[in-house]
Amino acid sequence: MKITVVGCGALGSFYGARLCRTGQDVHFLLRSDYDVVRRQGVVIHSINGDFHVQPRCARTPDEIGVCDVVLIGLKTTANGQFPKLLPSLVGPRTAVVTLQNGLGNEEQLARLFPPEQILGGLCFVCLNRVGPGVIQHTAHGKVVLGEFQGPSQPRTRELAGLFRQAGIACDITGNLARTHWEKLVWNIPFNGLGVAGTAGYEALISQTSTFNSQPVLTTDRLLGDPRWETLVRELMLEVIAAANALDFEVPQSLAEENIKRTRVMGAYKASTLIDFERGQPLELENMFLEPLRQAQTAGVPVPRLVRLCEVLHQLDPNG
């Protein structure tokens, strides 16, 4: 298959490199890393074994042309670039697969392309980009793949097989919207508190606007302090309550399952915390504000999520 990765940070580079390793025709659409990746390729330092690949590199979509599959690993703050980056890559039979976090990404793509061409992939993985074309993989890696609208298709199973051939565990969901909410159970507390925790614990449980600068909160620190662990759990249960009010039937036990799974990650920095440290805009809209709006529309009280969004908005470098 001809596959293009749009958004070659940690996520896009890792999964793109895995697919490239199987001999697929993989293209990386690059900006700042173009020269390094074209010259040196992509290096993955992984718990499952290090490897190196040499994908095809391009600066513009027109250099690549229409593909069989477009994998989108962009930060959701870059979704405004969809009309510029994607049309040259997408033909009438192209599968457009967003691997992005949060809610609303598939809907944004559906304004440009037929909904039946759009899929979502939820990535349960610990990754960091440690240099141009260099990715550190420290835990997990599974992808859950689903059609934007309707049940799985032969195309869905073919794509899942492509991931599995690349050594990536891949499940198929018949309800992509529910799976998005299941991932938010992890993303909202660990991405959110990792950043908001720098304002101090009191800022999260009160209405004070006076923040005391604190050290960053990696996942081990959030679960190593009973106060922060309590907030993690409370946020998870609010997200689950919102999902259930929207008829997604997410079990409360998912909170404890996520906490148990996170303990093995060590001192992991979630992606939003890395963006914050680099002074980049936070993925507030899709990962936090849209879930908040849907929870409030469903009439679910989510006081911890409300306060988290307030603090994140004040801390956002572009806020």
Element (H, E) at 188: helix 176-196
CA distance 33 to 55: 13
Residues assigned a catalytic role = 183
Residue type, 248: F
Fold match between domain 2-174 and domain 179-315: no
Strands 42-46 and 51-53: antiparallel
pLDDT at 319: 64
pLDDT at 179: 96
> Which stretches of 148-264 are assigned E, i.e. beta strand?
170-172
- Model confidence pLDDT, tens digit, residues 219-278: 999 999 999 999 999 999 999 999 999 999 999 999 999 999 999 888 999 999 999 999
Element (H, E) at 240: helix 226-245
CA distances from 118 to 111, 146, 156 (A): 11, 9, 10
Place domain 179-315 in its CATH homologous superfamily: N-(1-d-carboxylethyl)-l-norvaline Dehydrogenase; domain 2 (1.10.1040.10)
Q: Would the pTM of this model clear 0.85, i.e. be above it?
A: yes
The arrangement of secondary structure in 2-174, i.e. its CATH architecture, is 3-Layer(aba) Sandwich (3.40)
pLDDT at 310: 95
Q: Estimate the share of the chain in helix, then strand, then coil, as percent rounded to the nearest 5.
A: 50, 20, 30
pLDDT at 216: 82
* Residues 6+ away with beta carbon under 8 Å from 159: 69, 95, 97, 119, 145
* Residues 6+ away with beta carbon under 8 Å from 197: 204, 214, 216, 217, 221, 222, 228
Place of tokens 């998912």: 254
Nearest partner of 206 among 319, 313, 317, 306, judged by Cα = 306
What are the residue boundaries of the structural domains of the chain, listed by start? Answer: 2-174, 179-315
Half-sphere exposure of 127 (CA within 13 A, CB side): 22
Positions of the chain with pLDDT under 70:
209, 319
CA distance 195 to 185: 16
CA distances from 191 to 102, 119, 157, 184, 268 (A): 11, 24, 31, 10, 11
- Model confidence pLDDT, tens digit, residues 5-33: 999 999 999 999 999 999 999 999 999 99
pLDDT at 132: 95
Angle, helices 226-245 vs 253-263, to 10°: value is: 140
